[in-house]
Structure 1
Amino acid sequence: MFCEYFEARVCRSCPLIREPYDLQVRNKERSIRRVLASLDRPTSRRTPAHPPAIKSRFEWLPTYRSPETGFRNKAKMVVSGSKKSIVLGLAPNEKHPTGIDLQSCPLYAPAIHAAFTPIRAWLQRLGARPYNIPTAKGEVKYVLVSANPAGDLMVRLVLRSKAALHRVEHTWSELQAELPNLRVFSVNIQPEHTTVIEGREEIILSSERYIPMPGIGTDLWLAPGAFFQTNTAASQALYAQAALGAETPTGNRLGFILRSGWFCLCPEFRRGRASDWCRSRGTRY
C-alpha cells in the first residue's frame, strides 16, 4: 500500500507498509502457531497395520484478511498550528513546528475523511487557540472522530479547560449543519499536561448520546469514552467466530475478547460485577 506520509518520512506508524500483505499474513500465521505449540499436545495412535500418527488438537481455520485501506473507524487527531491555520494530525516536532497534517491517511473510513475539512473550518471560525505542548498554553488539544459503517459520526473535542466551552456550545450547530450524519458531539475536559488524551469530564452537547456499531444479532451502542475495535470488519469476523465457538459444548473457554459489547451480551457476564464495569465504559445493550 502506498502512503504519502510514510514515503515522506513524516509518519512511521505502519512499519510493515512496504511488506506485501500476503507475506504479513503468512508470517503472522507462523508466529501464532509457534506461540500455541506449547498448548497443543498431540496424541500418538498406533495400530498393528499402521505406523504411529500424530494428530493436532487444533483445527486451523482460514485467516481473516482485513481491507488494507479505509478500515479504521476512529481518528485521534492532535490539533496544532494557529487559530487561523489549524493542523489536524500529529503533534509538532523540530522538523515540523506547526504539526503534521494527516487528513489524507489511507487507513481512515471514508466518512471520517469527509469530516476533516468541515471540522477544521469550524475550528478556525471558533477562534480557540490550539494547545501548545512546550508552553502548556492554549485550549484545543484533540479532535476524536468515530464512524460506523453507515457513516454516522461521533465527534469529541478535547479542551484544556472550559474557557472556550461557551463558544463551542453556541457554534457547534454550524458543524452539524455541514455534517448531517453527525449524531453525537461532546466536549472532553483534560486539564492535565500529560500524554493521556482524555480527561474525566465529558459534556455531551448533542441530543443523541450513542452511535450504533454492528454486533452479532444486535447493534452495540458506542458512547463517548467507550472503546470499540478500530477495525469494524475485523471485529465483526472475530465476534462471529467467537459466537460459533461459544456453541461448542465444553466447559473450557479461552477468554480473549474483552472489549465493548461482547461479554455484555452473555447472561453470565451480565449477572456479574464485570457488567458494571462494561456499563461504566459506556456500552449499552
Structure 2
Amino acid sequence: MQCDYFDAGVCRSCTWMGQGYDEQLAAKQARCAELLAPWPGLDWLPPVTSPESGFRNKAKMVVAGTVEAPTLGILDPTGGGVDLRGCGLHDPRLADALPVLAEFVTRAALTPYDVPQRRGELKHLIVTVSPDGELMVRLVLRSTESVARIRKHLPWLAERLPLAVVSVNLQPAHKAVLEGEREEVLLGDTLPMRTGEVVLHLRPQSFFQTNGHVGAELYRQAAGWVAELAPASVWDLYCGVGGFALHLAAPGRSVVGVEVSEEAIASARQSATDLAHVSFVAADATTWAPAQPAAPELVVVNPPRRGIGPDLAGWLETSGVPHVLYSSCNAVTLARDLAAMPAYRPVTARLLDMFPQTAHFEVVTLLTRA
C-alpha cells in the first residue's frame, strides 16, 4: 500500500507502511510461531488475510485547527493539527463522511481544542460505519457549552449522512485520553453491525473489531471449532457486545457472556432478545468465574492486550473445563498465560491479520485439557 502521508513524513502511525503485504504476513506468522514454540505439535491453519486498505470501520480523529478550517487527524509534535481525512485505511464510506463532518464543525461553531493553549471545546470525532453503510458519530467535548448548537444543526447533518447514532462524550481533563465516562445520546440508540447471520448492536461506548472482514472470519473460525466439540455449556468471558457468545449460540446450548462494561452488556442483551439460552452478565470476569457453583464445558476468553492474568489463568487451570478458546491481540501475553495453565495443550491456532501495515495481529487458539 502506498500512502502520501507516510511518504511525506507527516504520519508514521503505520510503522510497516511500504512493506509488501506477503512480507508483513510472513513476519507476523513467524513471530507468533516463535512465541508459541514451547508448545510443539501445534497445528497452524492458514492465516486469515485482510484487504491492505479501506478495512477500518472506525475513524478516531483528533480535531484541531480553527472553526473555519478544522483539521481531522492527528497532532504534530508541537500540538498542531495534521489533517488525515484521506487516510487509506478507512472504509471509503468513512472517508466520504469526514468532509461533511468538518463542515458541520464550522456550521455549528465547534471550537477545536487547542492542546498547547488548553482551550477550545471539540477534542475528537469518533466515527463508525456499519456493513450496511450507517454511521455512528461521537463528538468528544471538553464541556457541554456547545451541545445546544450541535442539537440545532443536527438535522442538517442528518440530511447529508446516513446517521444511526449521534452522541456527545464529555472529557474535561487535559490529558491524552480519547474519551470520558459521561455520554449523552442525541440521535438513535444503537448501530446494527451485521456479521454473517448475526446482527450485533453497538452502543457509543461499546468495543467492536475495527476490521469487520477479519472480525467476521474470527467468529466463523470459532463457531467451526465449537460446532465440532458440541459443548452443552459455554462461557464467553470479556464478551464485549457478545460477538463470540451470539455466534456460538445453538439449540440446547447454554451460553453466558460476561463483560465489565454495562454499556456493552446492554448492547449484547439487545442482540440476544430472541435467544432463550443466551444470557449476559455485567461483571468482572476474573472474579465472576471462580464464584460460580459449576464450570461450563467450554470457555472463550477474549481479553485486552494485558491478557487474562494469573488469577483467571489459575482458576482455569484447576477448573476442570475441558476446552478453552483463547482469542488474543497480544501473543506475548497469550504465551505467558498459556505457561500459567500447564493442564491445557494448544492443539490448533490461526493468525488473523486484523491490523495490516503494523506489527499487530490477532491469534485464536483452541486449548484442550491434557
Q: TM-score surpassing 0.5?
A: yes
- Residue number in structure 2 paired with 1:173: 155
Is the 1:131–1:141 contact (alpha carbons within 8 Å) kept by the matching residues of 2?
yes
Which of 221, 224, 227 is the aligned partner of 2:201? 221
- Residue number in structure 2 paired with 1:82: 66
Q: Does 1:212 align with 2:196?
A: no
Please list, as runs of the form range in 1=range in 2, the aligned pairs for 1:243-282 lying within 5 A after superposition. Answer: 243-249=223-229, 258-265=239-246, 268-270=254-256, 273-274=258-259, 277=262, 279-280=264-265, 282=267
Q: Which has the higher strand share?
A: 2
Alpha-carbon distance in 2 for matches of 1:36, 1:256: 22
Alpha-carbon distance in 2 for matches of 1:256, 1:174: 41
RMSD of aligned C-alpha atoms? Answer: 2.5
Over residues 242-270 of structure 1, what are the superposed CA-to-partner deviations in whole Å (9 max), with x where a residue is unaligned? 1111123288x9x8984432244256553
Alpha-carbon distance in 2 for matches of 1:133, 1:276: 29
Distance apart, 1:273 and its partner CA: 5.0
- Residue number in structure 1 paired with 2:99: 117
TM-score between the two structures when normalised by the length of structure 2: 0.66
Q: Unpaired segments of 5 or more residues in structure 2?
A: 272-370
Is the 1:225–1:281 contact (alpha carbons within 8 Å) kept by the matching residues of 2?
no
Q: Does 1:238 align with 2:218?
A: yes
Distance apart, 1:274 and its partner CA: 4.0
- Residue number in structure 1 paired with 2:179: 198
Alpha-carbon distance in 2 for matches of 1:269, 1:279: 16
Which of 160, 165, 171 is the aligned partner of 2:142? 160
- Residue number in structure 2 paired with 1:12: 12
Which of 143, 146, 149 is the aligned partner of 2:125? 143
Is the 1:78–1:143 contact (alpha carbons within 8 Å) kept by the matching residues of 2?
yes
Is the 1:224–1:282 contact (alpha carbons within 8 Å) kept by the matching residues of 2?
no
Distance apart, 1:280 and its partner CA: 4.3
Counterpart of 2:170, as a letter, is I
TM-score between the two structures when normalised by the length of structure 1: 0.85
Is the 1:212–1:222 contact (alpha carbons within 8 Å) kept by the matching residues of 2?
yes
Counterpart of 1:21, as a letter, is Y
Larger Rg: 1
Q: Unpaired segments of 5 or more residues in structure 1?
A: 41-55
Over residues 179-225 of structure 1, what are the superposed CA-to-partner deviations in whole Å (9 max), with x where a residue is unaligned? 1x11111111111112111111111111x211111235311011101
Is the 2:205–2:263 contact (alpha carbons within 8 Å) kept by the matching residues of 1?
no
Indicate how the Cα distance of structure 1 residues 269 and 249 shifts in structure 2: closer, same or farther if over 3 A, else same: closer
Alpha-carbon distance in 1 for matches of 2:64, 2:16: 28
Alpha-carbon distance in 1 for matches of 2:77, 2:56: 25
Is the 1:212–1:219 contact (alpha carbons within 8 Å) kept by the matching residues of 2?
yes
Indicate how the Cα distance of structure 1 residues 273 and 139 shifts in structure 2: closer, same or farther if over 3 A, else same: same
Alpha-carbon distance in 1 for matches of 2:237, 2:32: 14
Is the 2:193–2:199 contact (alpha carbons within 8 Å) kept by the matching residues of 1?
yes
Counterpart of 1:60, as a letter, is W
Counterpart of 2:156, as a letter, is E
Is the 2:203–2:264 contact (alpha carbons within 8 Å) kept by the matching residues of 1?
no
- Residue number in structure 1 paired with 2:166: 185
Is the 1:263–1:269 contact (alpha carbons within 8 Å) kept by the matching residues of 2?
no
Alpha-carbon distance in 2 for matches of 1:112, 1:36: 37
